[in-house]
Amino acid sequence: MPLYYQFSFLLIVYYIILLFLVNNILNEENSIKSKKIHLVEGGSLEIIENKDKSIEINTKSGKIYKSQILILVIPGGGYVNLQPKEELPVAEKFLSFGYSCAILKYSVHPKCYPIEYNQGLKAIKLLSSRFKKIILMGFSAGGHLSALLGTTEREKLFNAVGMVLCYPVISFVNKVHKGSRDNFFGDKNKNNKENRKRFSIENRVNPNTLPTFIWTCKPDTLVPYENTLFMIKKLEENKVFHTSIIFKTGRHGIVLAEKNKEVSKWIKLACDFVDKIVKN
């Protein structure tokens, strides 16, 4: 075949591949919609709505699309910043399983409680007008905020039906992550012992606490794994439906655990948990 024809053939193949890729990108953009909403006192909510209507789930109240289940991702950062690796990468992972997602970008130190709590409540209320079921998914200090919300009176939580706590900060009195505790309260109130007890999640768990999936890694040296044990004990005592796992390997901030096959199992287990409580 002459060189000219070889070049023309390769050029045609190139354009076919390019058109295929562009078409896939356009289809993806049509199926996923992103929107940013501003919350009180500087917080924001980034909603990534999955438009896929091919997956249905039977619930006690009727059929819903899986995309009508929203995962509210609440990143950690010791209440002093927000960790990017616990934001969009997490949302994209759970979008791939068919859920819609939102990322709560709450205020951090020097702003302090109750600002981030009020932002969380506002986010849940707004999202409940658009999605049938909401799952709170918090990492580290974001796990503390998720659990703070998840132990609130049910009538304030609208369509929130469960929470997934990932290597969470739980206690402000035992095995404490000092930075999260002090930044949560702010400079004026960080030494108040009564507040430390009040906002330790193990002291807030009650029979109406949201069903909970909780996991951590035993070698975690930043937020000791005992925090998770404190939470498990209280969930059991209050007969709250829950699933828990403490991995023998891993570290704090491992997030999706791409390089740790054992810890990465939490993602599938969390999806199974979500689907189970949604059906009820």
- CATH code: domain of residue 235: 3.40.50.1820
Q: Is 23 within the bounds of a domain?
A: no
Q: How confident is the model at residue 163 (pLDDT cuts 50, 70, 90)?
A: very high
The reply to whether 265 falls in a domain is yes
- Percent of the chain scored above 70 by pLDDT? 88
pLDDT of 213 reads 99
CA distance 280 to 265: 24
Answer whether residue 237 is part of any domain: yes
Helix (H) or strand (E) holding 228: helix 226-237
Span 77-106, average pLDDT: 98
**Assigned domain for 25 exists:** no
Per residue in 208-251, pLDDT (tens digit) is 999 999 999 999 999 999 999 999 999 999 999 999 999 999 99
Mean pLDDT of 82-110: 98
**Rounded to whole angstroms, how far apart are CA atoms 88 and 73?**
9
pLDDT at position 7 is: 52
* Domain housing 201: 33-279
Helix (H, G, I), strand (E, B) or coil at 92: helix
Number of structural domains found in the chain: 1
pLDDT(22) > 50: no
Q: Is the dihedral of CA 152, 161, 45, 200 positive or negative?
A: positive
**Distance, CA of 214 to CA of 150 (rounded, Å):** 13
Q: What is the pLDDT of residues 121-161, one digit of tens each?
A: 999 999 999 999 999 999 999 999 999 999 999 999 999 99
**Within-domain flag for 263:** yes
For the segment 106-135, the average pLDDT, to the nearest whole number, is: 98
Instruction: Provide the CA 247 distance to its chain's centre, in angstroms.
Output: 19
Q: Which two tokens stand for residue 172?
A: 């402000």
**Cβ within 8 Å of residue 241, ≥6 positions away:** 211, 212, 277
pTM for the predicted model, two decimal places:
0.88
163 Cβ contact list (under 8 Å, min separation 6): 135, 136, 137, 138, 146, 147, 149, 150, 210, 211, 212, 213
Structure tokens at 132: 């049938």
Contact present, 169 and 141 (Cβ < 8 Å): yes
Please check whether residue 22 lies inside any domain of the structure. no
Count the Cβ atoms, other than its own, within 10 Å of residue 16: 10
Q: Is 161 part of any domain? A: yes
* Mean pLDDT rounded to a whole number for the chain: 91
- Is 10 domain-assigned? no
